[in-house]
């Protein structure tokens, strides 16, 4: 008779990942990009603009604004960034100070993912089948090995790579969702800690700008707890309900209730499928394999708890028109599901993952190094010409520290590939070492060798400097059609007072900025005289018109 448990794990297979290599891998993933760059365009600079406006007293804490327009309602992450900016005034760069707590949130997310998986893997239903003559993995060793795999799976996901390193409220939402999964996972074994975690998680999720997802996750958690076989977990429903009530009250107090549904048409389904394929890689095939191999245990906690985070995020992604930031909140749950595929993974599947990761990330690393050499020496000539064409005016500086870090990361990758291609077949987490290491390597190379180029292309500083040639210091700029990211850049980098309200054209501002991609450019607004047109060095289409109010 076949056992309902699909996992067969030996004691040697359940050995844990050595802690020093794991910590070094996490450091290579977390630290690059913290220093040496500006806030980047769009969401990154928008969030930073609100944080520094709060810290400098240019806007109130309870109702932050950009250009006189009410900004994002995700107050808790903005308060966190503003508090770190205030704490670092005088001795720490403001952008680094704002970025630091979000790096800590990402580190906390990795740690919570580990502990969530550890608690779930220790449940009876998740344990591997015992052998007739002994030699199977002990429950604790097995749980540690699976938890190591979950952390590697989370770091290997492509969708977390950029969004997880931004200074945006969604990182607070990600940490809060992972804390909620931890609370559900630890309910039977850590009653006091799990209650404190759930009472913090859902209000933090709502206060970080996702009250609807907090309610949806709470409802799904209530269902999981009510159907649990553990009496302690069934009693946990009361604490989930209290946390939901606290989250709803906090969202009402902060004015965070906003319906962001955009809906999807049939034409959008193909785009959505492509997004899921790359954003959730490589955890989605492993998660599907888990659901198939553990299909007889779908109601058990090690499957149902991570499904809470995954299904809520997938549903929000669809409801919000394919929002990648909503989809990011499902990555911890998907990583936990992927980890439970490891004890059941066939050797051929593991080899395929290894070979794909080795070839793909080695090719990416070679490409990064070749283009870096072209930027520094002009050889090869074609990549150097492409860089000069895409980023006109860019001059690549040389940094010995960045080069040394990139060389160290590359040598570590060579060692890792050599180790993995050797005879190391026992450990459960072995199949995710190369995907996680490859992602960390590419991120490290990009944030060292390519950082000046990426900062030149994505920072709004160059645009502001060109506007400054046409607008005097301390001037007032009207920008009723400007994006919030542009308003934040003008206020921070240019130190201008910006009026982005709809009635700004009739206000006291002497200058007007309007952005367009149309050719020819639209006529200037009545009563305004065109001073000049500027654009970012790396943008071929978007043009910013600078106008001055006509003399009466």
Residues 524-538 have pLDDT tens digits of 677 888 899 898 888
Mean of pLDDT values over 1-22: 78
Are 415 and 528 within one domain?
Answer: no
In this structure, the strands spanning 69-70 and 65-66 are antiparallel
Q: 268: Cβ–Cβ under 8 A, 6 or more apart, which residues?
A: 321, 322
Say yes or no: 33 and 138 in one domain.
yes
pLDDT digits (tens, 9 = 90+) for 274-283: 999 999 999 9
pLDDT confidence band for 523 (50 / 70 / 90): low
Residues 175 and 241 in one domain: yes
**Which of 154, 82, 81 is CA-nearest to residue 115?**
154
pLDDT at residue number 421: 79
Q: What is the mean pLDDT of residues 58-69?
A: 91
Residue 324 sits in the same domain as residue 413:
no
Tokens of 545: 């018109």
pLDDT tens, 12-34? 778 888 999 999 999 999 999 99
Task: Please give the helix or strand (H or E) that residue 515 lies within, else none.
Answer: strand 511-516
Domain shared by 156 and 294, yes or no: yes
Task: Kindly state whether residue 10 falls inside one of the protein's structural domains.
Answer: no
- The answer to whether the beta carbons of residues 130 and 136 sit under 8 Å apart is yes
Same-domain status, 207 and 223: yes
Mean pLDDT (whole number) for 299-311: 95
Q: Please, which pLDDT band fits residue 349 given cuts at 50, 70 and 90? A: confident
Is the model more confident about 541 or about 404?
A: 404
Q: Is 114 within a domain?
A: yes
- Say if 7 falls within a structural domain: no
Say whether both 210 and 333 belong to one domain. yes
Tell whether 107 and 248 lie within a shared domain.
yes
CA distance 296 to 6: 9
The predicted pLDDT at position 108 comes to 98
Domain assignment present for 302: yes
Q: How crowded is residue 182: how many other Cβ atoms within 10 Å of its Cβ?
A: 28
DSSP state of 525: P
Does residue 493 sit within a domain? yes
Per the structure, the count of domains in the chain is 3
The residue with greater pLDDT, 500 or 270, is 500
The pLDDT value given to residue 1: 37
Secondary structure letter of residue 64 according to DSSP: -
- 123, part of any domain: yes
Residue 539 has pLDDT above 80, yes or no: yes
Tokens of 333: 């749950």
Beta bridge partners of 513: 546
Query: For tokens 């989809």, what's the residue?
Result: 327
> What CATH number is given to the structural domain containing 483?
3.40.190
The domain boundary residue, chosen from 310, 344, 378: 344
Quickly count: other Cβ atoms within 10 Å of residue 346's Cβ. 9
Per-residue confidence band for 269, with pLDDT thresholds at 50, 70 and 90: confident
What pLDDT score does 524 carry?
Answer: 65
pLDDT band at 2 (very low <50, low <70, confident <90, very high): very low
d(CA 228, CA 58): 51
For the ranges 70-79, 312-321, 332-341, 494-503, the maximum mean pLDDT occurs at 332-341
pLDDT at 259 (0 to 100): 67
Asked whether the whole model's pTM tops 0.85, one would answer yes
Q: Which of 344, 365, 391 is the last residue of a domain?
A: 344
> Domain boundary residue among 295, 322, 344?
344
Res 207 pLDDT > 70: yes
Token representation of residue 398: 């040389």
Average pLDDT over the chain, rounded to an integer: 91
What tokens were used for 548? 């001055």
Nearest to 291 by CA among 274, 275, 304: 304
Q: What pLDDT digit, counting tens, does each position of 216-262 carry?
A: 999 999 999 999 888 889 999 999 999 999 999 999 988 877 766 66
Residues 70 and 172 in one domain: yes
pLDDT in tens, 392-451: 989 999 999 999 999 999 999 999 998 887 765 678 898 899 999 999 999 999 999 999
- pLDDT for 177 beyond 80: yes
Going by C-alpha positions, the residue among 92, 87, 140 that lies closest to residue 118 is 140
Q: Is residue 9 part of a domain?
A: no
Same domain, 120 and 26: yes
Q: Are residues 202 and 306 in the same domain?
A: yes
Share of the chain above pLDDT 90, in %: 71
Residue 11 lies in a domain: no
With 0-12 CB in 10 A as exposed, 13-18 as middle and 19+ as buried, what is 313? buried
* 3 state DSSP class of 482: coil
Q: What is the CA radius of gyration of the chain?
A: 25
For residue 547, what pLDDT is reported?
92
Range of the domain at 210: 19-344
**Is 287 found in the same domain as 169?**
yes
């Amino acid at each position: 008779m076949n056992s309902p448990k699909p996992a067969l794990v030996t004691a040697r297979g359940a050995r844990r990942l050595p802690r020093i290599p794991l910590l070094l891998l996490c450091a290579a993933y977390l630290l690059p990009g913290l220093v040496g760059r500006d806030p980047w365009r769009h969401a990154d600079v928008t969030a930073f603009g609100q944080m520094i406006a709060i810290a400098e007293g240019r806007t109130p804490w309870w109702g932050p604004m950009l250009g006189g327009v009410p900004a994002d309602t995700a107050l808790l992450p903005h308060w966190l960034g503003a508090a770190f900016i205030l704490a670092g005034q005088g001795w720490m760069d403001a952008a680094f100070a704002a970025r630091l707590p979000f790096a800590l949130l990402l580190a906390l997310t990795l740690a919570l993912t580990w502990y969530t998986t550890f608690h779930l893997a220790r449940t009876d239903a998740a344990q591997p089948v015992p052998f007739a003559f002994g030699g199977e993995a002990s429950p604790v060793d097995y749980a540690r090995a699976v938890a190591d795999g979950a952390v590697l799976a989370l770091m290997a996901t492509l969708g977390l790579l950029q969004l997880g390193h931004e200074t945006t409220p969604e990182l607070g939402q990600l940490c809060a969702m992972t804390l909620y999964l931890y609370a559900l996972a630890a309910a039977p074994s850590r009653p006091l800690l799990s209650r404190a975690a759930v009472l913090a998680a859902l209000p933090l999720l709502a206060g970080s700008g996702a009250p609807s997802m907090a309610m949806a996750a709470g409802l799904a958690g209530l269902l999981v707890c009510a159907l649990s076989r553990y009496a302690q977990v069934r009693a946990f429903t009361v604490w989930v309900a209290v946390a939901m009530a606290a989250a709803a009250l906090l969202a009402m107090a902060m004015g965070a209730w906003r319906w962001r549904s955009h809906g999807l048409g049939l034409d959008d389904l193909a785009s959505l499928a492509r997004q899921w394929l790359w954003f959730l890689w490589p955890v989605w095939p492993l998660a599907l394999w888990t659901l198939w191999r553990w299909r007889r245990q779908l109601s058990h906690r090690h499957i149902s708890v991570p499904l809470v985070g995954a299904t809520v995020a997938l549903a929000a992604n669809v409801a919000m028109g394919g929002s990648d930031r909503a989809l990011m909140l499902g990555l911890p749950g998907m990583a936990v599901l992927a980890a439970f595929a490891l004890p059941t993974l066939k050797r051929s599947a593991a080899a395929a993952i290894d070979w794909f990761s080795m070839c793909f990330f080695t090719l990416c690393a070679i490409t990064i190094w070749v283009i870096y050499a072209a930027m520094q020496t002009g050889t090869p000539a074609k990549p150097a010409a492409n860089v000069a064409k895409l980023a006109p005016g860019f001059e690549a500086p040389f940094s010995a520290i960045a080069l040394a870090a990139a060389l160290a990361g590359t040598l570590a990758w060579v060692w890792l590939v050599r180790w993995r291609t050797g005879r190391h077949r026992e450990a459960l987490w072995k199949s995710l070492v190369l995907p996680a290491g490859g992602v960390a390597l590419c991120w490290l190379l990009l944030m060292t060798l390519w950082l000046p180029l990426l900062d030149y292309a994505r920072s709004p500083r160059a645009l502001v400097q060109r506007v400054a040639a046409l607008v005097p210091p301390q001037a007032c700029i009207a920008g009723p059609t400007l994006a919030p990211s542009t308003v934040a850049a003008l206020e921070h980098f240019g130190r201008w007072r910006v009026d982005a309200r709809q009635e700004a054209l009739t206000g006291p501002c002497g200058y007007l900025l309007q952005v367009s991609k149309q050719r020819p450019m639209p006529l200037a607004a009545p009563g305004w005289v065109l001073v000049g047109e500027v654009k970012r060095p790396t943008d071929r289409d978007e043009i910013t018109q600078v106008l001055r109010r006509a003399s009466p």
